[in-house]
Amino acid sequence: MTPHSLIAGERDVQKRLDHFLQEQLPEYSRSRLQSWVKDGHVAVDGVPAKVSTLLRGGQRVDVQPANLTPLKAMPEDLPVEVLYEDAAVLAINKPAGMIVHAGAGNHDGTLVNRLVHRFQEDLSHVGGDLRPGIVHRLDKDTSGVILVARTDAAHQSLAAQFSGRTVSKTYLALVRGKVRDETGRVTKPISRDPVRRTRMTCGVATGREALTEYRVLQRFEKFTYLEVRIGTGRTHQIRVHLQSLGHPVAGDVVYGSAKQPDAPRMFLHAWRIEFDSPAADERVLVEAPLPRDLADWLTGL
């Protein structure tokens, strides 16, 4: 791989090294760039640096790319709740706090690790050895139903359904404040936040189209309980769209209040999903009940 020699400009002052590299070398994944830094393949003014190094401007950043050992999901004998199963598709009830597949700094306890142990080779390989069976994702702190493909043909069928927007996805969300209208629709484009790269935003002119619809299920003094349907599957879509209305999801420390969380955890649950199963040859509706911790907290309101 070709070495890179970069210069940090005035706009890069106080910018983290990994954020700078991600902007300058978009052809590489964030996890790969971070791995190079941690393995000593990135130097700032000739000195090996850390991922969190803050740039001063005018510095030379040298990157010596290195091939990474291909990642593979490792089986772990941990519980996994199956809500629906046929020859082509699994529907799993993912608890909050569980990562779907391994990423930068997260390799253990993932949903994929559990699936590989329980179903072994009975998962699609379209997504590679790191993401067998995974067609779509849920955020780490979002609970609820997620589909897993058991065969390559099923993976391609589900991917086409997601792309064609024929998969129906319904969430339950508790948001801060009093939502004015009984029903509503948000169509603001979503893009990555140019300043805080771990966040998404709909506050810039450009972005990918996104559609979120909601209806009020119940009102409380300081919160509103919503049923939310999404027509697209952008990263953090529901959280970003609801926050843009002035009603962040309760307990969301990224898009809500980081100092004083107002719920035991983020109150966002993937409740229902409806799709066409290649094996069942019919429309399938799967529902994941609201988890006990959220149900109890809701009752307490």
How many degrees, rounded to 5, is the angle at CA 66 between CA 60 and CA 68?
Answer: 135
Alpha-helix residue ranges (DSSP H) falling in 76-170: 111-119, 152-163
DSSP single-letter state for residue 194: S
**Exposed/middle/buried for 238, CB within 10 Å: 0-12, 13-18, 19+?**
buried
CA end-to-end span of the chain: 57
Is 153 in contact with 278 (CB distance < 8 Å)?
yes
Is 86 in contact with 280 (CB distance < 8 Å)?
yes
Verify whether residue 139 is a known catalytic residue: yes
Q: Is 229 left (phi over 0), alpha (psi -120 to 50) or beta?
A: beta
Q: What share of the chain is helix, strand, coil (3-state, %, to 5)?
A: 20, 30, 50
Which of 139, 152, 293, 296 is the catalytic position? 139
Q: Which residues are catalytic?
A: 139
